[in-house]
Amino acid sequence: MPTAQDIESAAQRIAPFINRTPSFSSLRFNELSGGDYIFKGEHLQLTGAFKARGAMNAVLVNKESAADSGVITHSSGNHGAALAWAASQVGAKAFIIMPSNAPKSKIAAVEHYGGIITFCEPNLEARETTASKVQKETGAHLIHPYDNYDIIAGQATATYELLKDNPEIEHLFVPVGGGGLLSGAALANYFFGNAKIYGCEPELARDAHDGFLTGKRVIVNNSDTIADGLKTSLGKKNFPIIKSYVSQIILLTEKEIENGWHTCLETTKQFIEPSAATGVAAALKTQLTGKCGILLCGGNMDVRKFALR
């Protein structure tokens, strides 16, 4: 499990490669929500999501094996694009397993950064099986999108930065899918902050919520939520961290997520993806006092869906 030193080392290691994304507030959002909120703009991160942090850290930690045989992962898009980008920074190949129904914009992003894509059926079993097959064929080093301590330490740097800039934060809303961002946020807060951490999850992919309540890890093989980056089940390494250091998992309906997306766009003028809207939606339905933070995890979605006339 990553230590405080691991998180600080990751922050120093990846600093030359990534953006130190801004923290900002919105008077209009605060008036609408009745709270005092600070946003962490990871949608403005390189590759369009926080995933660049973990991917870059994992590639740098495993630089020799990556250079020799490349790296491999399975991803619905954001981690795949991030890993392809990170691998390109050290001259390594990146083999990316993607579900056949991945958003076209995310497929295009993986290709743009040089990722070598293999498509599979849209469920976790198919992703893992296909990744294992390609790994055997290529000898590439597997970098799991979330069930990996180097990834978790890298993702933790987003919250590490936020809390360094805003130590007064008492509550922090973080989207949860596989758990890389949430487990990293929970550890960063444990070592460097004093906030309550809230995981924000679609009702249609409620494994984190149910596992959190029962104390047993739950598997979800398929989900139809619009928050496509949050369809995966919690990783084995992520679950015990979340169970120990997260205060609550908040479930959001599809309508609430959509409303959170529209509200963020209207009040902050920031273009986020639906996964990031879960944090906004949770904040809107939770009445809290004190300084609050929301991690806007990414901004990768197909803008061509929207017509101006």
The dihedral over CA atoms of 171, 175, 178, 182, expressed in degrees to the nearest 10, equals -20
CATH 3.10.20.30 for domain 4-50+148-305: no
Mean pLDDT of the chain: 94
Minimal CA–CA distance to 232: which of 75, 71, 48, 52? 75
Q: How many CB atoms lie within 10 A of CB 170?
A: 15
Q: Known catalytic residues?
A: 51, 76
Q: pLDDT digits over 236-252, tens only?
A: 999 999 999 999 999 99
The Cα-based distances of 290 to 66, 182, 250 in angstroms read: 45, 21, 19
Retrieve residue 54's tokens. Answer: 């973990």
So what's the pLDDT on residue 123? 80
The DSSP H or E segment spanning 168 is none
Minimal CA–CA distance to 278: which of 247, 248, 255? 255
% of the chain exceeding 70 in pLDDT: 99
So what's the pLDDT on residue 3? 98
Q: Is the pLDDT of residue 25 over 90?
A: yes
**Which carries the bigger pLDDT value, residue 308 or residue 26?**
26
**Rounded (to 5) percent helix, strand, coil in the chain:** 50, 15, 30
Q: What value does the mean pLDDT take over residues 17-37? A: 97
- Where residue 224 falls among pLDDT bands split at 50, 70, 90? confident
Q: Could you tell me which CATH class the domain 52-142 is placed in?
A: alpha beta
The Cα-based distances of 304 to 105, 173, 189, 292 in angstroms read: 9, 29, 37, 33
Q: CA-to-CA distance for 190 and 52, rounded, in angstroms? A: 22
Edge-first strand listing for the sheet containing 196-202 = 23-24, 36-41, 291-296, 171-175, 196-202, 248-252
Which residues are CB-neighbours of 171 under 8 A, at least 6 positions away? 195, 196, 198, 288, 290, 291, 292, 293
Per the CB < 8 A criterion, the answer to whether 18 and 52 are in contact is yes
So what's the pLDDT on residue 20? 97
Handedness of CA 60, 8, 197, 217 (dihedral sign): positive
Handedness of CA 159, 162, 165, 170 (dihedral sign): negative
Q: pLDDT digits over 105-115, tens only?
A: 889 999 999 99
Q: CA-to-CA distance for 99 and 110, rounded, in angstroms? A: 13
So what's the pLDDT on residue 113? 95
Q: CA-to-CA distance for 57 and 85, rounded, in angstroms? A: 12
Q: Is the pLDDT of residue 221 over 80?
A: no
Q: What value does the mean pLDDT take over residues 108-124? A: 92
Q: pLDDT digits over 60-89, tens only?
A: 999 998 989 999 999 877 899 999 999 999
Fold agreement (4-50+148-305, 52-142):
yes
The Cα-based distances of 79 to 36, 109, 174, 285 in angstroms read: 31, 11, 17, 29
Q: Is the pLDDT of residue 132 over 90?
A: yes
Per the CB < 8 A criterion, the answer to whether 58 and 65 are in contact is no
- Where residue 280 falls among pLDDT bands split at 50, 70, 90? very high
The domain locations on the chain are: 4-50+148-305, 52-142
